[in-house]
Amino acid sequence: MGIKQRISDRVASQLKGALPLGAGDKALNGLIGKLIANPDRTENLFGEGEIFLIKAALYLTGVKLDESAYDGIGTVFKELVGVYQFDLNLGKTTRALPSELALPHGFHVPVVVNDESPFVLERKKGILYLTVNELRLFAVEFEKRPDFYGKKTTDGVEMWKLAQHRLGDELMVTYNTYCHTLKGGNQCRFCSLSPHEPIHRRKNSFFIQTPEQIAEVAEAAYKEGVVKRLEITGGILPNREEIDFICEVGNAIKKRLGTETVPGGHVLVAAPNDLSRIDDLKAAGWEYIFFNLEIWDENLFKGLCPGKQALIGRDHWLKALDYAVTVFGKGNVRSILIAGLEPLKSYLEGLEYLTAHGVYADPSPWMPMRGSLMEGHNTPSAQWHITLLVKTLDLWEQHGWDLASVAKDGWLSFNDLASLRIKVRERKKQEPDYPIEDDLRYKLAVLGKLDF
């Protein structure tokens, strides 16, 4: 048996044991095994399509950290801080962990720690490498720690405890880790907001921060140049008190920055029971808004989001989305639908409906979050997810949405695929004879195929 075949078998075996089962995931395993076991194809080994696949594998399997990989975390490199609804490392360790990993070709992936993963991060002579079974793949790096993480507000609170830098250019504000749907056990079954313990607490308040504290952190982050947008989110509160708070935050930031709006400012909040509050959010300077329906199928919505159904209701939620489009404008209203919690057919029906109504229906692949009521369940296969994401891009284009704006908005899977689709089309336009059908980017982002 040749050396290449031995490496290929070893890698494929390790990846097969680490990744979730499923036809699409087996295809992903096989592809990655072929990619990293062909040293004679180095010049074509790690193009954008290949890095996308490795990113997918890192997200599914996680990565083991060699002791050397911890160097500089929390000083030179940004540490993982409580982004309270999306922490895949919840409860794993009290040690400071890296937050996000920069891969070649501008790809980024959150660092999910898994000591059983075949992927390992280790630093040699100051350079961080991604390896698999002692086979070095390529150099990577953690995100630099922003300067404002080392600053305090005027009332003495460390800024990193109040708002967190993520996704390259976003300031994330979680105003609480409580949701009124917890009453009676009616929280959304997939949500992991409530198991998190806030890093900072205010006495006798639902809110982690004051509007003035958030505005001070925002001013520091925007002035440093590491932030171009700001997201605020949290749970549903009694009497919908979060709406007033979010409006106060928007006004405080505008005053601090001397702007008419919060630059790139967006709100993730449950649809207001009083539709006039949507006008208030617009007046407070928020540029776009997310009312995340999350589940389209009417019966599944009732079962998976019982609190939302009881407090707001699906019908009212759709009315709120329609009204928000009249206030914020087409394309400035979004609603995440979580991919993997309902049949593909109903999911696509939801995408079609929302897109036709001027709402960006963001596909968010479901990962069973630690601390949620669905922890321990499995998400569908990689092939299922990529099929849905490509169909989503097709739908957006059919309705005239601009994929270029999607491709630069964040580091999520549908952003990546939109970017790959644009770039491979540009290549074909520049070189009419280019065999686009053989390009991995085309197979992934246009055909949505893993089984090739």
- Whether residue 430 lies inside any domain: the answer is no
Residue 135 has a pLDDT of 81
Residue 367 has a pLDDT of 74
d(CA 36, CA 121): 16
- Whether residue 409 lies inside any domain: the answer is no
Same domain, yes or no: 117 and 25: yes
| Per-residue buried b or exposed e for 164-177, using 16+ beta carbons within 10 Å of the residue's own CB | bbbbbbbbbbbbbb
Range of the domain at 111: 3-142
Same domain, yes or no: 87 and 208: no
Question: What does each of the 452 residues of the chain score in pLDDT, given as a tens digit?
Answer: 333 344 344 444 444 433 433 334 555 555 555 555 554 443 346 788 888 888 888 887 889 999 999 999 999 999 987 655 555 655 565 678 898 899 999 898 888 888 888 899 999 999 999 998 778 888 999 999 999 999 999 999 999 999 999 888 999 999 988 888 887 888 877 787 665 566 666 777 788 899 999 999 999 999 999 999 999 999 888 899 999 999 999 999 999 999 999 999 999 999 999 999 999 999 999 999 999 999 999 999 999 999 899 999 999 999 999 999 999 999 899 999 998 899 999 999 999 999 999 998 888 888 777 777 777 787 888 888 889 999 999 999 999 888 888 766 666 788 899 999 999 999 999 999 999 999 999 999 999 987 65
Residue 222 has a pLDDT of 98
- Whether residue 98 lies inside any domain: the answer is yes
Same domain, yes or no: 370 and 307: yes
Same domain, yes or no: 168 and 93: no
- Number of domain units in the chain: 2
Report yes or no: 284 and 250 within 8 Å, Cβ to Cβ. yes
Same domain, yes or no: 121 and 176: no
User: Pick from 380, 409, 440: which residue ends a domain?
Assistant: 380
Give the domain CATH number at 302.
3.20.20.70
The residues with which 165 forms a beta bridge, in sequence order, are 171
Positive or negative CA dihedral for 416, 54, 381, 114?
negative
Residue 200 has a pLDDT of 64
Same domain, yes or no: 99 and 188: no
- Whether residue 319 lies inside any domain: the answer is yes
Same domain, yes or no: 318 and 197: yes
Residue 310 has a pLDDT of 92
Q: Give the residue among 205, 283, 213 at the shortest CA–CA distance from 253.
A: 213
User: Pick from 332, 361, 380: which residue ends a domain?
Assistant: 380
Strands 265-268 and 288-290: parallel
Same domain, yes or no: 108 and 163: no
- Whether residue 290 lies inside any domain: the answer is yes
User: Pick from 350, 380, 410: which residue ends a domain?
Assistant: 380
What pTM, to 2 d.p., does this model score?
0.84
Same domain, yes or no: 171 and 221: yes
Residue 19 has a pLDDT of 40
Same domain, yes or no: 285 and 375: yes
Q: DSSP letter string over 181-236?
A: GGGGG-S-TT--STTPPPSS--TT-S-SS-HHHHHHHHHHHHHHTS-SEEEEE---
Same domain, yes or no: 247 and 189: yes
* CB hemisphere CA count around 37 (13 angstroms): 21
With a CB cutoff of 8 Å and minimum separation 6, the contacts of 408 are 415, 419
Residue 206 has a pLDDT of 82
Same domain, yes or no: 341 and 197: yes
